Amino acid sequence: MLKYCIDRLRPPRPFCWETFILLSVFSWLLAAFSSLLVPPAWNAYHFTHTGGLIFFVLGTAWWQWERPIKIFGIKIGPWIVGLLLSLILFDDLDENWRHQAMIVTWPLLTGLVRSMPKFFRGQLLPSWPPISIRKELTVMFLFHALISLWLQFGFLMNHWMINYPSLLTEDWTRSSFAIARGIEVPEIPHGNILINEMEAFLREQIEGQQWPRANQVISGLLENRINIDDAVKKRLPEIEENAWWKLGGTVVQRQGGFGITLLAIFDGVPLVSEEYYLEKACEISRTFRQPGPTSSRPPVEALDRAEVECAPASDRKSGPIPSLGQGFD
């Protein structure tokens, strides 16, 4: 049995692709042994692990050059070697960018692997191929570069969809390159989330408070001592689209309280030709609550409370921003 295994693993000649595969296995065994030492020899581990990867890539490339694997008549060997090269090059990269870098550079490395034999053509030293082969290599490499660019564009679109959720509510039917297939559109548009959070912030500051406290909050908004834009955005997940929304409003003093119009204005570049905004009308009024049947009557100021009532948020509007009353942001 041992003799059978040795005969099966023995390379047919000293310099062949089987030799490189065996060297890669031997290097990985040394790497595993280095990691099991006490204390682990990490320098030796990284050296032998990287050497194993290099031997494995060389052996795989040679194997595919001698015995290419074809699917529908297309050689997939260069794609296998290109994937292995990308794994080696970006193995130590930060995890957030590793997979993206590997996938984007994979077609480029595949094109490099496919073009390398044309520069050697059985010789030890490289030389420029004939003009006809250069044209073929140029078209081939541009084709792989186009695949790489489309992959990068796909990652970019995914980044936009995550950090700019309002894009998902736009109309993509006339787009010739982006198809929103399989992407879940948020139930509530991001602008509505922002303006609803503005209402929630206003209620937390005023609802049920004594009337002097409501006056302090209104004056704080008008005098910019309370920045509603920063306060609301800190309550939400940090995404890049938040920076393109300007949150503010206007205040009108009335006989029984205040009328506040909350505004969420999109300052970015929408897919439509006109910029837009959302608004929500709120009323702040004084309420005098009747005391309950208690033995001691509470003071009058304890019964003078503020009440907040808000209408639903409007649909997207375009045109001049309403400027009735004093503005705040």
Q: What is the pLDDT of residues 252-306, one digit of tens each?
A: 888 878 888 888 888 766 555 567 888 888 888 887 665 555 545 555 555 678 8
Please tell me whether residues 137 and 227 are part of one structural domain: no
The DSSP symbol for 70 reads E
Q: Which two tokens stand for residue 138?
A: 């140029």
Please tell me whether residues 41 and 96 are part of one structural domain: yes
The residues facing 260 across adjacent strands are 251, 282
3-class SS of residue 254:
strand
Q: Is residue 4 part of a domain?
A: no
CA separation, residue 16 to residues 78, 206, 237, 260 (Å): 18, 80, 56, 81
Q: Is residue 168 part of a domain?
A: no
For the chain, how many structural domains are there in total?
2
Enumerate residues 6+ apart whose C-beta is below 8 A from 199: 262, 280, 282, 310
Please tell me whether residues 60 and 96 are part of one structural domain: yes
Identify the pLDDT of residue 295.
Answer: 46
Q: Is residue 185 part of a domain?
A: no
Nearest Cα to Cα of residue 243 among 204, 194, 205, 288: 194
Q: Is residue 172 part of a domain?
A: no
Enumerate residues 6+ apart whose C-beta is below 8 A from 278: 191, 192, 194, 195, 263, 264, 313, 314, 315, 316, 317
Please tell me whether residues 23 and 108 are part of one structural domain: yes
Q: Is residue 152 part of a domain?
A: yes
Identify the pLDDT of residue 212.
Answer: 87
Please tell me whether residues 114 and 198 are part of one structural domain: no
Please tell me whether residues 110 and 210 are part of one structural domain: no
Please tell me whether residues 144 and 49 are part of one structural domain: yes
Please tell me whether residues 238 and 138 are part of one structural domain: no
Q: What is the CA angle 204-210-211, rounded to 5?
A: 100
Nearest Cα to Cα of residue 317 among 277, 270, 281: 277
Please tell me whether residues 159 and 198 are part of one structural domain: no
Q: Is residue 31 part of a domain?
A: yes
Q: Which residue has the tokens 């794609």?
A: 79
Detail the DSSP E strand segments found in the chain.
70-71, 74-75, 245-254, 257-266, 277-288, 304-310, 326-328
Q: Which two tokens stand for residue 145?
A: 């570069």
Please tell me whether residues 215 and 155 are part of one structural domain: no
The residues facing 258 across adjacent strands are 253, 284
Q: Is residue 25 part of a domain?
A: yes
Question: Which residue range is the domain that position 234 belongs to?
Answer: 190-288+299-328
Q: Which residues of the chain have pLDDT under 50?
A: 295
Please tell me whether residues 159 and 18 are part of one structural domain: yes
Please tell me whether residues 20 and 146 are part of one structural domain: yes
Q: Is residue 81 part of a domain?
A: yes
The DSSP symbol for 183 reads P
Q: Give the residue from 113, 128, 163 where a domain finishes.
A: 163
Amino acid at 179: I
pTM of the model: 0.65
